Amino acid sequence: MSCKEEKRQPQPNEKNSEVLISLLNEGSIEAHNENLWAIISKDAVIEIISEGHDWTEGPLWVESEALLLYSDIPRNAVYVWKEGQKAKIFLQPSGYEGDFFEGSEPGANGLLLDHNNDLVLCQHGNRQVAKMINPVSDPSPGFQVLADRYDNKRLNSPNDAVYKRNGDLYFTDPPYGLPKQMNDHDKQLPFQGVYRLEPNGNITLLTDEFTRPNGIAFSPDEKTLYVSNSDPEMAIWKAFDVQENGLLENGRVFFDATPLVPLEKGLPDGLKVDNAGNIFATGPGGVFVFSPEGELLGKIKTGQATSNCAFNSDKSTLFITADSYVLRVKL
């Protein structure tokens, strides 16, 4: 972080009303290393493709339908956006099916597709990982539970997840979606876990060392697992070696953003990895871009508390959820 920072502000004449609502005026792309420009064009801008939400999360590009799904957690809804169209509700309720939720985060958070192209949701209010029964082409509330307990105790509120190519699902379980956050009568597990769910339904606790485990992603060769910790007192990303049996070892701090927390909005949250192994991780100030070796190459500065990001199918575009916005950056 000691190298010279290069910033580029979007210019007003770069707007295209047919493709986007507007440009994020307070946004910029900041290089900490010239290698960033091999990943993001110097001409890239931060586009707003949807706005006016409560808190956006869990972006997911669905190539078969050419659409973007994302969560609005307080509204207990998943929204859908298509090029040239305004976003609209795709699924509601998305994460809580009861009549009254005593808390602020009832909806689904992380979204992903399984190997059958079915929608899998990390459901805060229901405190489970579940699959939507209907196909993405015909959305409807109705869910098959994939995981809701560990050691006969209810999960906290599954947050984000990633599939391994063999069908194992790795997911994080912080307490953010509990009806009364951290109250003893709601929280049955005395820790915040990172888990593996096997296709046969077996669930394994991989680590309980995080205070607020959040985003999760594999390196392209699946030999490394990255996990973020969204605790302002320990705002870090960790990397783990993935053993042949799928368990984790050699956990180490990949990057410590704790000193940045008082300076900019946001915490380590969602993350994704491109085909070259570069890590795009939301954190204080926007999206951090790391090399596979852990060098900070630069940031996509949003000026918002930034929750998550996702690529399109060929990883030429990055979608970003940031507070009330959904953003797009062409790479």
Kindly give, in sequence order, each residue whose CB lies less than 8 Å from that of residue 17, ignoring residues fewer than 6 positions away: none
pLDDT band at 169 (very low <50, low <70, confident <90, very high): very high
Residue 182: what pLDDT? 54
The secondary structure of 154-191 as a DSSP string is: E-S----EEE-TTS-EEEEE-STTSSSTT-TTT--SSS
Q: What does the buried/exposed string (b/e) look like for 112-131 if buried means 16 or more CB atoms within 10 Å of the residue's CB? A: bbeeeeebbbbbbbbbbbbb
Burial bucket for residue 100 (CB in 10 Å: 0-12, 13-18, 19+): exposed
Residue 229: what pLDDT? 98
Mean pLDDT, residues 222-236 taken together: 98
pLDDT band at 7 (very low <50, low <70, confident <90, very high): very low
Kindly give, in sequence order, each residue whose CB lies less than 8 Å from that of residue 82, ignoring residues fewer than 6 positions away: 66, 67, 68
Its pTM stands at: 0.93
Tell me: the pLDDT tens digits for 256-275?
999 999 999 999 999 999 99
Kindly give, in sequence order, each residue whose CB lies less than 8 Å from that of residue 274, ignoring residues fewer than 6 positions away: 39, 280, 311, 315
Residue 186: what pLDDT? 77
Length of the chain: 331
| Residue 137 predicted with pLDDT over 70 | yes
Domains contained in the chain, CATH given: 13-330 (2.120.10.30)
Residue 190: asked if its preceding bond is cis (omega within 30°), the reply is no
Strands (DSSP E) found in 223-291? 224-231, 234-242, 248-256, 271-273, 279-283, 286-290
Mean pLDDT, residues 265-291 taken together: 98
Residue 329: what pLDDT? 97
- Is the model more confident about 326 or about 12? 326
Mean pLDDT, residues 98-120 taken together: 95
Tell me: the pLDDT tens digits for 293-322?
999 999 999 999 999 999 999 999 999 999
Tell me: the pLDDT tens digits for 65-83?
999 999 999 999 999 999 9
Residue 179: what pLDDT? 83
Burial bucket for residue 314 (CB in 10 Å: 0-12, 13-18, 19+): exposed
232: left (phi over 0), alpha (psi -120 to 50) or beta: alpha
Q: Are the beta carbons of 264 and 285 closer than 8 angstroms? A: yes
* DSSP designation for 315: S
pLDDT band at 22 (very low <50, low <70, confident <90, very high): confident
> Cβ of 234: how many Cβ atoms within 10 Å?
17
pLDDT band at 184 (very low <50, low <70, confident <90, very high): low
Q: By C-alpha distance, which of 218, 235, 233, 221 is closest to 171?
A: 218
Mean pLDDT, residues 41-48 taken together: 95
Mean pLDDT, residues 189-201 taken together: 97
Q: Are the beta carbons of 106 and 99 closer than 8 angstroms? A: no
| Residue 61 predicted with pLDDT over 70 | yes
pLDDT band at 25 (very low <50, low <70, confident <90, very high): confident
Mean pLDDT over each residue of the chain, to the nearest integer: 93
| Residue 9 predicted with pLDDT over 60 | no
Residue owning tokens 């869910």 = 143
